[in-house]
Amino acid sequence: MIPYGRQQIDQDDIDAVVAVLQSDWLTQGPTIGRFEAALAARCGAAHGVAVCNATAALHLACLAAGLGPGDRLWTSPNTFLASANCGRYCGAEVDFVDIDPATWNMDADLLEAKLEAADRLGRLPRVVVPVAFSGQSCDMARIHALSRRYGFSVIEDASHAVGASYLGRPVGSGDHADMTVFSFHPVKIVTTGEGGMVLTNRPELAARLEQLRSHGMTRDPARMTEPSHGPWYYQQTELGFNYRITDLQAALGLSQLGKLDAFLARRRALAARYDALLADLPLTLPTRQPGAESAWHLYVVRLRLGEIGRGHREVFEALRASGIGVNLHYIPVHLQPYYRALGFAPGDFPEAERYYGEAISLPLYAGLTDAEQDQVVGALHAALRKAPAA
């Protein structure tokens, strides 16, 4: 089975992890800071705070943005559960903004209309989480401008978008977001096994994220409520968590970052190849958001069902049966039983639902060979062949 995504681990990645295993620090050592500094520098951000996964990163970013009970968080329905769940962890109400039918990202027109309506009702969100779906930025300039007008924080879920750029600047630079979150799960662009990071340009947010990552405690006398009792002293000033990443993981991440450009180049070449090889099939191929250069975490096609003699599920199952590990990103989050129980219903976000009925994620990862990609394309041709007329 050709999977839809997988990590690429080389001997130098293994050596980097082994070197940490042989060192004094398996966790809370010097490698974490080096990993944070390297990714922040790469993205043009002032601060990076690495944590145990991107879900924890989103949770801490929401807390640092001041999200709490009685507040509202809005995100896209076309995302992984974590982009919405982070709001629920903070006791906030979660709502969604439907997707743009062309880019499959949060629709900035719909966001603006929903903000106008919410403003009249006094129900504006405190946080909006735009998701750079498949590795391509949303219309962040517009979303950022709306955040200034309506006073919400922008936490960009760039879990798919390490190495992507927008308007000529790296995603994570903080030009259009208060905080940007990356994931290092093995299917993403670079991996640490499990891992995530928040980038920000605001020192007070970085300090808060660091404190929340480790139990809400500090060893910094400037942040304490009373003079230190001695060299052993620390204070817990708020309720935090153990969301730390290990030095083993940070070493893997640092080593992987050295290959980011090579990974991106291969993903972009494969995406361009899919564009060319699939052009004559009854599919809607990914559209480019003007100004955005995708990191190509996913290559999603939509079936033009009116032109195909088979259903979505039938095509999906035919591909799986021929050894192609296709996937579907994403089941609209508002249709999950947990969110249905909170009041959401089918029909609430029709573009995301229509998309869900047509989308298939094709294999895309740095180690995918041209021959394997040709196999995927061949299987798609076969799966989409019209049933012969009776």
Ligand X SMILES: *Cc1c(COP(=O)(O)O)cnc(C)c1O
Beta-carbon contacts of 3 under 8 Å, excluding residues fewer than 6 positions away, are 325, 363, 365
Instruction: Show the site string, 4-43: x = touches ligand X by CB under 6 A, - = not.
Output: ----------------------------------------
- Among 47-55, 218-226, 338-346, 355-363, the segment contacting ligand X (CB under 6 A): 47-55
Counting contacts by CB under 6 A, is residue 196 touching ligand X? yes
Strand ranges across the sheet with 359-362: 283-284, 299-303, 359-362
- Among 78-86, 225-233, 238-246, 351-359, the segment contacting ligand X (CB under 6 A): 78-86
Counting contacts by CB under 6 A, is residue 99 touching ligand X? no
Counting contacts by CB under 6 A, is residue 65 touching ligand X? no
Among 301, 297, 291, 343, residue whose Cα is nearest residue 137? 291
Residue type, 294: S
**Separation of first and last alpha carbons in the chain:** 33
Counting contacts by CB under 6 A, is residue 80 touching ligand X? yes
DSSP 323-337: TB--B-----GGGSH
Beta-carbon contacts of 210 under 8 Å, excluding residues fewer than 6 positions away, are 49
Q: Which of 82, 198, 271, 300 forms a contact with ligand X (CB under 6 A)? A: 82
Nearer to ligand X, 131 or 171 (CB): 131
Strand partners for 309: none
Q: Which of 7, 55, 137, 255 forms a contact with ligand X (CB under 6 A)? A: 55
- Smallest distance, ligand X to C-beta of residue 125, A: 18
- Smallest distance, ligand X to C-beta of residue 194, A: 6
Nearer to ligand X, 83 or 218 (CB): 83
Write out the two tokens for 228. Answer: 């230190």
Burial label, 382 (beta-carbon count in 10 A; 0-12, 13-18, 19+): exposed
Cβ–Cβ < 8 Å for 87, 93: yes
Neighbours of 341 (CB within 10 A): 8
Write out the two tokens for 96. Answer: 């969604």
- Smallest distance, ligand X to C-beta of residue 80, A: 4
Instruction: Show the site string, 166-195: x = touches ligand X by CB under 6 A, - = not.
Output: -----------------x-x----------
- Smallest distance, ligand X to C-beta of residue 241, A: 14
- Smallest distance, ligand X to C-beta of residue 192, A: 9
Q: How far apart are CA 69 and CA 71, in angstroms?
A: 5
Q: Which of 2, 17, 45, 54 forms a contact with ligand X (CB under 6 A)? A: 54
Catalytic residue list contains 188: yes
Counting contacts by CB under 6 A, is residue 160 touching ligand X? yes
Nearer to ligand X, 54 or 366 (CB): 54
Q: Between the CA of residue 112 and those of 70, 153, 175, 265, 276, what are the distances in Å?
A: 22, 15, 20, 35, 35
Nearer to ligand X, 295 or 318 (CB): 295
Number of residues that bind ligand X (CB under 6 A): 14
- Smallest distance, ligand X to C-beta of residue 249, A: 11
Residue written as tokens 């990590």? 7
Nearer to ligand X, 154 or 318 (CB): 154
Phi and psi of 97, rounded to 5°? Answer: -120, 125
- Smallest distance, ligand X to C-beta of residue 131, A: 5
**Residue numbers 274-333 binding ligand X by CB under 6 A:** none
HEC states along 40-78?
HHHHCCCEEEEECCHHHHHHHHHHHCCCCCCCEEEECCC
- Among 21-29, 76-84, 222-230, 244-252, the segment contacting ligand X (CB under 6 A): 76-84
Q: Which of 31, 78, 83, 249 forms a contact with ligand X (CB under 6 A)? A: 83
* Residue ranges that bind ligand X, judged by CB under 6 A: 53-55, 79-80, 82-83, 131, 157, 159-160, 183, 185, 196
Q: What residues act catalytically?
A: 188
